[in-house]
Structure 1
Amino acid sequence: MKVRSTFRILALLIALLIFRSHSVFGRGPRPKKPEVKRKPISAEVQAKRDAEDDLNKRFWIGTGCAFILLPALGCFAGASVARVNPGSDFDAECGLAIGSILAAGPLVLMLGHQPTPPPERFIGKSPEYIVVYTNVYKKRTRQLSRPYTAQGMVIGCVITGGLGILMGQIFENLE
C-alpha cells in the first residue's frame, strides 16, 4: 500500500515539474532584456584583457621548471659519471657548473622577455591610445608571468627532489 501511494505522489510531482517547465501555469512569454549601449573600452582595460588572453602559461611554467631542473640534472649527470668512471676528472661540481651554464638560457628568457602586442590591434587608433595600451600591456604581461614562473620553479624543485631520492637509491644499489 505504501509503495503504491509513494509511486502516485512521485508521478504527480514529475508531472507538475514537466508542465511547469512548459509554461502551462500562465507564466506567459519572458520579457525581452533592454539593449544596453556599450561604451568604448579604454586602452588600459583592453590592454589588461588582451595581456591575460595572450599569456602563454605553459611557456612560463616550463621556463621556471627548466631554471631549477637544468643545474640539478647537470649535477646528477656529473655525480653519475664520477660514480661510473672514478678515474675521470669529471665530478658533481663539473656537472653543476655545466647545468648552471645551461640554466642561463631560461634566466635570459625570464629577465629579457619584452612582451609586445600585435601591431594589428592598433589599426585606426590614436598615438596616445597606442602608448597607453603598450605600456599597460607590457606591465600586465610581466605581472602575470611571475606566478606561473614560480609555479614552474616549485614543480622543478619537486622533480629535483624526486630525482635526488631516485639517484640516492640507485647509488646505494650500485655499492
Structure 2
Amino acid sequence: MKKNSTFHVLTFCMVFLVFSAPFVALAQQFSGEAQAAIDRAKRDAEALTNKRLWFFAGCFGTFFGYLAANTYHSPVPTVALLGKSPEYVAFYTDTYVTKTQQLQSDQALNGCIIGAIVQFGIPLCATAVRYAD
C-alpha cells in the first residue's frame, strides 16, 4: 500500500515538472523583448503626453477635466510598432496606454486641486479682508 501511494506522488511530481518546463522557457524567452517594449513605451508616454493640457483641463474643468483624463485613451504611436513581433506590440500597447492614462490623471488631479484652491481661496481671502476692515 505504501509503495502504491509513493508511486502516485512521484508520478504527479513528474507530470507537473514535464508540463511546467515549457512555460518557464517561454517566459524567459520573451522577458528581454518584453522589458525593451515596456521601457520604450514608458519613455514614449512621458515624451508624447501633453501634461500642460491635462493640468489646465483639471484646473479649469475641475471634476470634469479629471473625469475626461480618466476616460480618454490617447492613441498609440504606430511608428514605434512597425516591424515588431506581436508580443512586443502587446507589451508596448498595454504599457503605453496605462502610463499615458496615469500621467493624464495625475496632471488633471494636480490641476483640479490648484483650480479649487484658486476658485475658493481667492474669494475666501477677499471676504476675510473685507470683514477685517
Name the TM tier (shorter chain).
0.5 to 0.7
The verdict on how the C-alpha distance between 1:156 and 1:146 changes in structure 2, with shifts beyond 3 A counting, is: same
> How many positions carry a matched residue from both structures?
98
Match of 2:97 among 124, 129, 138: 138
Does 1:114 pair with 2:78?
A: no
Using the TM superposition, give the Cα deviation of residue 67 of structure 1 relative to its aligned residue in structure 2, in angstroms. 2.9
Matched, 1:126 2:120: no
Contiguous gaps of at least 5 residues in structure 1: 1-38, 69-102
Query: What is the alpha-carbon distance in structure 2 between the residues aligned to residue 144 and residue 60 of structure 1?
Result: 9
1:51/1:140 contact within 8 Å kept: yes
Post-superposition offset of 1:57: 1.0
TM-score in terms of structure 1 length: 0.47
Aligned twin of 1:26: none
Q: Distance in 2 between matches of 1:52 and 1:110?
A: 15
Q: Deviations over 1:150-170 (max 9, x none)?
A: 21012101211244237748x
Q: Any residues of structure 2 matched to 1:9-158 within 5 Å, and which?
A: 42-68=36-62, 104=64, 106-158=65-117
Inter-partner Cα distance in structure 1 for 2:102 and 2:36: 20
The percentage of counterpart residues that share the same residue type is 31
- The alpha carbon displacement at 1:124 in A equals 1.2
TM-score of the aligned structures, taking structure 2 as reference length:
0.60
CA distance in 2, matches of 1:141, 1:107: 14
The answer on whether the counterparts of 1:116 and 1:134 sit within 8 Å (CA) in structure 2 is no
Q: Which has the higher helix share?
A: 2
For 1:147 and 1:122, locate their aligned partners in 2 and report how far apart those are by CA, in whole Å.
26
Separation in 1 of the partners of 2:108 and 2:66?
11
Note the aligned Cα RMSD (angstroms).
2.7
CA contact (8 A) 1:50 1:137 kept: yes
